[in-house]
Amino acid sequence: MAYTHDVIVIGAGAAGLTAAGGCALFGLEVALIERAEMGGECLNNGCVPSKALIAASRRAGAAGSALGVHLPAPVVDWAAVHAHIHGAIAAIAPHDSQGRFEGMGCEVIRGDARLTDPHSVAVNGRTLCAPRIVLATGSEPAVPPIPGLADVPYLTNENLFALTELPGHLVVLGGGAVGMEMAQAFRKLGSQVTLVEPGQLLARDDRDSVAVVEAAMRADGVAFVTDKAARVSGKAGAITVTLAGGGQVQGTHLLLATGRRARVAGYGLEQIGVKLGDNGIAVDARRRTSLKHIYAIGDCRDGPRLTHVAGQEGSNVVLEICTGLPTKVDWRALPWCTYTLPEVAQIGLTEAQAREQFGDAVTVQREGFDHIDRAVAEGETAGHMKLVLKGRKVVGASIVGDNAGELLLPLWQAITGKTGTFALGGAIVAYPTRSDVTKALAFKAWEPTVFGKWPKKWAGLLASLRRRS
């Protein structure tokens, strides 16, 4: 077969950009195909706009009296908030742009790709062929089969950031990361917000940590309803959600935050025989599909759906394709953070997962931010860090508090064995910073040893010798 390229990458989101850019930097001939905006979901309707919106909401939420300073009630200029969100996207866009990736050596093709045989991709009337293909086609909002939904205008992350007005009363379906972040942000900006979730809020996170966020959001004025949406009716500006339990919630706008569905249909996967899992393309630990020369990375395969995961899988397949060495992804120390106020961050195992896996070998060291001087000085003491240990080895951590996500990096190093509690407990940490909490908890793992029987005996012996001299 005459190959036109060494690698064809379909999709220019976080996963595809990393894979294509990395292979091109190794000198391979790469075709990168994107049918919509370069940068995919994270840049255009995911992480970037949501974090820009959250930043605006934090400014609004700072109003009131605290620390002896009185700020007047905020005036929210939605058009300006909207401009800030789209300004952030525009500022980051060059990083993901066609020009930047062409500069790295990729052939960037703007069009709809379709697999026509196991080595061939049709796009814009051309047929490209390569020995390796990387699928990075992402995911889309999962729209649950709720009766009436098709007849009512609703929001998802795909149109939320195009809103031209601040919702009067936003009803959010789903208490995962999207639902929680957006519910709090719109509430702080002045919308009434009701969040409907039938199960647990932030179900993948530590329960103690989620309880702190939930309390903060209730204090902000978010109303939580534990039930499932059974029917939706109404029209723009007047929407009614009828709950499975019989109650009703009324609002002006409806946001679906009910999870993601992998984008796997309509581009030839079925025809060439790539196998699917429950919600995405089935892959092995090296991110190879059932056709071993075709990889699937990021949101389109079954597994965690996060930008840094997409990027990590992109790097993984670059190494495997470019060196020929099998390269497995390692999620022992997978971090994530939900950017509510306070943030809730998780890495590795939660306490419950660790106890299930290691039983009595697990101990948990916990410190509240009310014991951390920086947090006290700033009046931001909500939250805690929980360090989950097997012996003295960190196997997980849950953090809830201001900027919790910024504390994750040394914990990644500890879980992956690049550092340990001894090093972290002895580290010099600038005072006063929130990192004091990591040092304090790591040291607790060693405290019984450092101040144990033998060090005490030794110190006592030295002291008695000095007394005699």
Ligand X SMILES: NC(=O)c1ccc[n+]([C@@H]2O[C@H](COP(=O)([O-])OP(=O)(O)OC[C@H]3O[C@@H](n4cnc5c(N)ncnc54)[C@H](O)[C@@H]3O)[C@@H](O)[C@H]2O)c1
Ligand Y SMILES: Cc1cc2nc3c(=O)[nH]c(=O)nc-3n(C[C@H](O)[C@H](O)[C@H](O)COP(=O)(O)OP(=O)(O)OC[C@H]3O[C@@H](n4cnc5c(N)ncnc54)[C@H](O)[C@@H]3O)c2cc1C
**C-alpha–C-alpha distance, residues 408 and 400, integer Å:** 11
Q: Which is nearer to ligand Y, 11 or 175 (CB)?
A: 11
- Beta strands across the sheet bearing 335-338: 335-338, 343-348, 393-401, 384-390, 362-368
Q: In the complex, what is the shortest distance from the CB of residue 178 to ligand Y, in angstroms, rounded to a whole number?
A: 5
For ligand Y, the binding residue among 19, 20, 31, 50 (CB under 6 A) is 50
For ligand X, the binding residue among 177, 388, 400, 442 (CB under 6 A) is 177
Go through 415-431 and write b for each residue having 16 or more CB atoms within 10 A of its CB, e for each that does not: beeebbbeebbeeeeee
Q: In the complex, what is the shortest distance from the CB of residue 380 to ligand X, in angstroms, rounded to a whole number?
A: 20
Q: In the complex, what is the shortest distance from the CB of residue 347 to ligand X, in angstroms, rounded to a whole number?
A: 13
Residues 117-156 that bind ligand X (CB under 6 A): 144, 146
| Helix boundaries (H) for 71-176 | 78-92, 98-104, 157-160
Q: In the complex, what is the shortest distance from the CB of residue 367 to ligand Y, in angstroms, rounded to a whole number?
A: 26
| Helix boundaries (H) for 261-329 | 269-272, 307-323
Residue 176 marked ligand-binding: yes
Residues in CB range of 61: below 8 A, 6 or more apart: 188, 220, 341
For ligand Y, the binding residue among 310, 317, 388, 445 (CB under 6 A) is 310
Residues in CB range of 463: below 8 A, 6 or more apart: none
Strand-strand pairing, 335-338 and 294-296: unpaired
Residues 297-326 that bind ligand X (CB under 6 A): 305-306
Q: Is 35 in the site for ligand Y (CB under 6 A)?
A: yes
For ligand X, the binding residue among 13, 40, 174, 396 (CB under 6 A) is 174
C-alpha to C-alpha distances, 139 to 85, 135, 259, 260, 265, nearest whole angstrom: 22, 12, 10, 6, 11
Q: In the complex, what is the shortest distance from the CB of residue 345 to ligand X, in angstroms, rounded to a whole number?
A: 9
For 301, the token pair is 């395969």
Q: Is 264 in the site for ligand X (CB under 6 A)?
A: no
**C-alpha–C-alpha distance, residues 18 and 297, integer Å:** 10
Q: Is 173 in the site for ligand X (CB under 6 A)?
A: yes
How crowded is residue 369: how many other Cβ atoms within 10 Å of its Cβ?
Answer: 26
Q: Which is nearer to ligand X, 144 or 417 (CB)?
A: 144
Residues 321-340 that bind ligand X (CB under 6 A): 336-339
Q: Which is nearer to ligand X, 84 or 228 (CB)?
A: 228
| Burial class (CB within 10 angstroms; exposed 0-12, middle 13-18, buried 19+) of 326 | exposed
Q: Which is nearer to ligand Y, 5 or 305 (CB)?
A: 305
Q: Is 274 in the site for ligand Y (CB under 6 A)?
A: no
Q: Which residues bind ligand X (CB under 6 A)?
A: 144, 146, 173-179, 181, 196-199, 203, 228-229, 257-260, 305-306, 336-339
- Binding site per annotation, positions for NAD(+): 174-181, 197, 259
